[in-house]
Structure 1
Amino acid sequence: MKKTLLAASLLSTLAFNSVAADYVIDTKGAHASINFKIQHLGYSWLTGRFNDFNGKFSYDAATPTTSKVNVTINTGSFDSNHADRDKHIKGEDFLHASKYPEAKFVSTKVEDLGTGKLKIIGDFTLHGVTNSIVIEASKIGEGQDPWKGYRVGFAGTTRIALADYGITYNLGPASTYVELELQVEGIKQ
């Protein structure tokens, strides 16, 4: 009985004292991506990505609610694989990248939904406007890498209304929302 109480006490102390580890998003190794899709006139999906972004996060599997996320996106790195369209999207009608060169996400709360699923709530700034968004995330895995480092990876999705960020260019009623897909692999620091 004493051994059981001692073990339970030790486990609760370790859980209480667990500390989230800090990770840098592995953009140098291209093990992370920020992809988007938006309907084109309601007839098809236009897809692409942001080629330049960076970020960091803290994470502890024992206490995922203590996690924090901070990501900065270079809006001028928008890439839909079509130079003329990319120039238009980076221009004043949409991203206005010369005036708003960065988009930013800073988490304010993380909810643990169980079985590796998280709800990451935070402030997303785009086009000079900040709104709270929710990212539905799933842990992909974690562990040692072949280079004696430690990594953890997540996938996430969110959907934003362009008008919420002052982007009102009319692409038709089916094209008012952008869906973002995030793939993040972090290297423990």
Structure 2
Amino acid sequence: MKAIAISTLILASSLTMAADYSIDPAHSAVTFKIGHLGVSTTVGRFNKFEGEFSFPDDAKSGKASLTVKTSSIDTNHEARDKHLRSPDFLNVKQFPTLSFNSTKFDGKTLTGDLTLHGVTKPVSFDVKKVGEGKDPWGGYRAGFEASTTIQRSDFGITYFIPGVTDATKIEVFVEGIRK
């Protein structure tokens, strides 16, 4: 009887155990969309980032962290990218990274602290699990998409509002490799 109880406890704990993943930057992206002059949307991305996440089998809790190198901003226009790196926008010399560290995940919404331009604010991302499974190299992968909209002025970035909108949509596409 004692062996059955111990086996049940081990099984129950394994069902709620979190799996840890490292973000695979080759199969992931951190992007943003922002309005320009009320006539178009500028799309950009950050090319250098790292992070990790975990989620238990019940998919109703977990955690995530992401660190982005701000100088890796890329909008496919060199002069604009140089201006976005300047003190008018990201000020990459003073603030070389932006980061997100989760505080709560309920299976659909990931809430945490976003630090951008030296300011930390709570942010919630809508999250969709894309899938998970074995890869051809003997590993295991999981993928998610997440999106949120922030007001850049909340983080002290106010240059040229409203010509460049205050609202900035952030989208994160991650594929993680189980550690």
What is the Cα deviation at residue 16 of structure 1? 4.3
Match of 1:89 among 72, 84, 88: 84
Q: How does 1:18-167 map to 2 (within 5 A)?
A: 18-27=16-25, 30-65=26-61, 67-112=62-107, 118-167=108-157
Change (3 A) 1:14 1:78: same
Question: Are 1:185 and 2:175 matched, yes or no?
Answer: yes
Q: How many residues align?
A: 173
What is the Cα deviation at residue 21 of structure 1? 1.0
Query: Which blocks of at least 5 consecutive residues in structure 2 are unaligned?
Result: none
- Backbone CA RMSD of aligned residues: 1.7
CA distance in 2 between counterparts of 1:86 and 1:50 reads: 11
What is the Cα deviation at residue 168 of structure 1? 0.9
Runs of 4+ in structure 1 deviating by more than 4 angstroms, as ranges, are none
Query: Retained in 2: the 8 A contact 1:40–1:171?
Result: no
What is the Cα deviation at residue 171 of structure 1? 3.5
Change (3 A) 1:173 1:90: closer
Query: Retained in 1: the 8 A contact 2:52–2:176?
Result: yes
Change (3 A) 1:38 1:63: closer
What is the Cα deviation at residue 61 of structure 1? 2.7
Q: Percent identity?
A: 45
CA distance in 2 between counterparts of 1:63 and 1:162 reads: 31
